[in-house]
Amino acid sequence: MEKKKPESEIHPVEGEKGFSGKKDDIQSPAVDQALSDLRQKIDAIDAQIVSLLADRQHVVGHVAALKKLHNLQVYHPAREEDLVFIRRQQAAKIGLNPDFIEEIYRTIIRRSRVLQTSSMALKSVRAGGIVLLVGGKGGMGRYFQECFCRAGYQVRILDKDNWPDAGQLCDGIDLAVVSVPIDVSCEVIRNIAPFMPVKAVLCDITSIKEKPLEEMLKVHVGPVIGLHPLFGPTTSCLDKQIIVATPGRNDDACQWVLDQFVTWGAVVVQSDAVEHDDIMGIVQALRHFATFAFGQFLRRRRISLSRTLEFSSPIYRLELGMVGRLFAQDSSLYSEIIFASEQRRNLLKDYIMSLHDNLEMLENENKCLFEEEFQKIAEWFGPFGEQAMRESTFLIDKLIERF
């Protein structure tokens, strides 16, 4: 006969007699003490981690000062990728998940760049420069006023209420930035040009480039460049923010403007005006219009957003969040982008017609056609499909962590 084990060796499981799920049933004072000791060790390790991060940040401050002194750019992609690769290898060797370590270091690197960018925000690449912001009381005008002022530039504002002072405000300037709605940009460019010093750079920051650039070249004999910041006035810092630059005239004389944005942490992408406007038709106009149409459809159907979220997957919440984000902003900003040109309006008409082309497929319940089209599109997307899976999975995981 098998010898009965003492009760102290019996480990009841849920559902067995004597197991109530209460703390006192599963944790003795000895266990509590052991947990307390382990947690104290974890707290001590966490304190060391924070202290080491503070030491790292202190060294990063010295790096920022050195880069600022020698006009070196903040963003160094090769260095960042090498760092992540080495830490992933180190993690694998000691039994840690490399993806987990990469995620931590991406965050650390990001904060390092932000710290360096904040330091560079105080750096001017043109000492004593004078900048005129035309339309400086608008959202982007105020944003760039802060940027240039922090870097030590003398900033002047020209807006609708002080146009009689245009001549005085333009006297001695090094740069004029036209930051006005698209539909009046060419008119404003024509009006400001007669007051511009010959050596001053004239640029605009509208989201279309072909017509404003053509107008600037026509009315100003000095340096000309078109800029398009792909961010809004709520952006906290310029770290890795993209600015598209479309060359106009005298690139060398315009280079300091681009260098200033790079110093602030931005990434400058070069493009000619025609290519820019073609791509922005897709990247901005089509995307915003498709989002508008989806939101319009939900409203017309009186869909309960809160109820759909109760049933939603994280990817639906993410997609609906992007739709809601659009409608939380100023409608005039998006109408300017969508209706900016006949070219864009024709693109959107083609998009609507392409949706209509699918009506017959739905009416005939043609699953085979749907799958054929799906496969063609998947092949056309190619390797980007896998990249999109990785990136969207990362965003979904982050969303789950947050909410």
Q: Which two tokens stand for residue 201?
A: 């750079």
Assigned domain for 335 exists: yes
For the chain, list residues with pLDDT below 70: 1-27, 119-122, 403
What pLDDT sits at residue 122? 66
Whether 133 and 253 have beta carbons less than 8 Å apart is answered as: no
Is the pTM value of this prediction over 0.75? no
Q: Which of 92, 120, 148 is the last residue of a domain?
A: 120
Phi–psi pair at 39, nearest 5 degrees = -65, -35
Assigned domain for 27 exists: no
Q: Which of 96, 120, 144 is the last residue of a domain?
A: 120
Query: Of 291, 273, 271, which Cα lies nearest the Cα of 208?
Result: 273
Query: Of 170, 172, 161, which Cα lies nearest the Cα of 138?
Result: 161
Note whether 297 and 382 are same-domain residues.
yes
Domain that holds residue 174: 130-271
Instruction: Compute the distance between CA of residue 303 and CA of residue 310 in angstroms, rounded to an integer.
Output: 13
Q: Strands, E, within 188-266: which ranges?
A: 201-204, 224-229, 242-249
Note whether 267 and 282 are same-domain residues.
no
Give the CATH number, domain containing residue 385.
1.10.3660.10
Note whether 37 and 88 are same-domain residues.
yes
Note whether 373 and 293 are same-domain residues.
yes
Assigned domain for 138 exists: yes
In Å, how far from its chain's centre is CA 392? 15
Instruction: Compute the distance between CA of residue 153 and CA of residue 144 in angstroms, rounded to an integer.
Output: 11
Give exposure, 49-73, as e/b (b: 16+ Cβ within 10 Å).
Answer: eeeeeeeeeeebeeebeebbeeeee
| Cβ within 8 Å of residue 54, ≥6 positions away | none
Whether 323 and 295 have beta carbons less than 8 Å apart is answered as: yes
Sequence letter at residue 268:
V
Note whether 177 and 284 are same-domain residues.
no
Element counts in the chain: helices (H) and strands (E): 18, 7
Give the CATH number, domain containing residue 78.
1.20.59.10
Q: Which two tokens stand for residue 97?
A: 């998940």
Assigned domain for 90 exists: yes
Query: At CA 210, angle to CA 172 and CA 344, rounded to 5?
Result: 135
Burial (0-12, 13-18, 19+ Cβ within 10 Å), 39: exposed
Tell me the pairing of strands 201-204 and 175-178. Answer: parallel
Q: Which two tokens stand for residue 271?
A: 């493009």
Q: Which two tokens stand for residue 295?
A: 């939101």
Note whether 298 and 360 are same-domain residues.
yes
Distance separating the N- and C-terminal Cα atoms of the chain: 57
Give the CATH number, domain containing residue 181.
3.40.50.720
Assigned domain for 196 exists: yes
Note whether 204 and 116 are same-domain residues.
no
Q: Is residue 207 left, alpha or beta, with left meaning phi > 0 and alpha meaning psi from -120 to 50?
A: alpha
Note whether 337 and 291 are same-domain residues.
yes
Note whether 263 and 217 are same-domain residues.
yes
Burial (0-12, 13-18, 19+ Cβ within 10 Å), 128: exposed
Note whether 246 and 290 are same-domain residues.
no
Instruction: Compute the distance between CA of residue 262 and CA of residue 73 in angstroms, rounded to an integer.
Output: 6
Note whether 148 and 163 are same-domain residues.
yes
Tell me the pairing of strands 242-249 and 224-229. Answer: antiparallel
Assigned domain for 281 exists: yes
Assigned domain for 17 exists: no
Residue 57, CA distances (Å) to 51, 62, 105, 108, 146 in order:
10, 9, 13, 9, 25
**Residue labelled with tokens 């880069």:** 67
What domain count does the chain have? Answer: 3
To which H or E segment does residue 134 belong? strand 130-134
Note whether 248 and 312 are same-domain residues.
no
Q: Which of 120, 141, 158 is the last residue of a domain?
A: 120
Whether 230 and 290 have beta carbons less than 8 Å apart is answered as: no
Assigned domain for 96 exists: yes
What pLDDT sits at residue 344? 93
